[in-house]
Amino acid sequence: MLIKQVLASGLLAPIALATNIDTVFTGFDNLHKRINSAHACLKAFNGGVTQSLYCGFEFYNLLTTTSSARRNLADLDYVPADQVQTYLNYYHDIRLSVSDTLSTGASKVHAMDSAGLKMFAGVIIRNFASERTIFDTLTKLKIPLSNHSELAGPVEGLGDEFEKTLAVFA
């Protein structure tokens, strides 16, 4: 009897762990808020110790939120057909916020260098560049092939922006 229960629970576990699209959208909402919060911190950054700690806290929260949103997306089987456009809207809104944050970060390279944070910031940017690649791959797996063309240019553009920003922090 116990063996049957273990086998049944093993077969049903993936079903129980499946994520729905609302969970993914909630994760995207949280991610977008964290990106905007980190962006606001960068805009105000002048190299001071207090701001360095505060921005470090913001970027730590952004890292954890990014990881959570990515896990939710990875656990989703697919984006339902009636939700693809909503998904793409979230995706592009987040992409624009990331782009703005990268531009602001690049403009603060001298303040970060003065505070001794330039190398550390480069590591963080590299981490987010990797996350972007994973999100792009997952997105292509979750949405219909017919919608991939809506991602091609923006995805390449954001990849280029990461590369430019990483070059500034090298």
Prediction pTM value: 0.86
Distance CA 115, CA 121 (A): 11
Cβ neighbors of 91 (< 8 A, separation 6 or more) are: 28, 139, 151
pLDDT at 5: 53
Residue indicated by tokens 């690049």: 106
pLDDT at 152: 80
Domain spans, the chain: 20-168
* DSSP run (H or E) holding 78: none
Question: Which backbone phi and psi does 45 adopt, to 5 degrees?
Answer: -65, 130
Tokens of 29: 């909402």
Question: Which backbone phi and psi does 77 adopt, to 5 degrees?
Answer: -70, -50
pLDDT at 154: 78
10-residue averages of pLDDT along the chain (170 residues): 51 58 97 98 94 95 97 97 96 96 96 93 95 95 92 84 95
Distance CA 131, CA 21 (A): 20
pLDDT at 1: 53
pLDDT at 6: 45
**Max Cα distance, the chain (Å):** 67
pLDDT at 26: 97
For Cα atoms 143, 39, 94, give the angle at the middle one, nearest 5 degrees: 10
* Alpha-carbon distances, residue 80 vs 21, 43, 142 (angstroms): 8, 37, 9
Q: Running DSSP on this structure, what letter comes out for residue 76?
A: B
By residue count, the chain amounts to 170
Question: Which backbone phi and psi does 60 adopt, to 5 degrees?
Answer: -65, -45
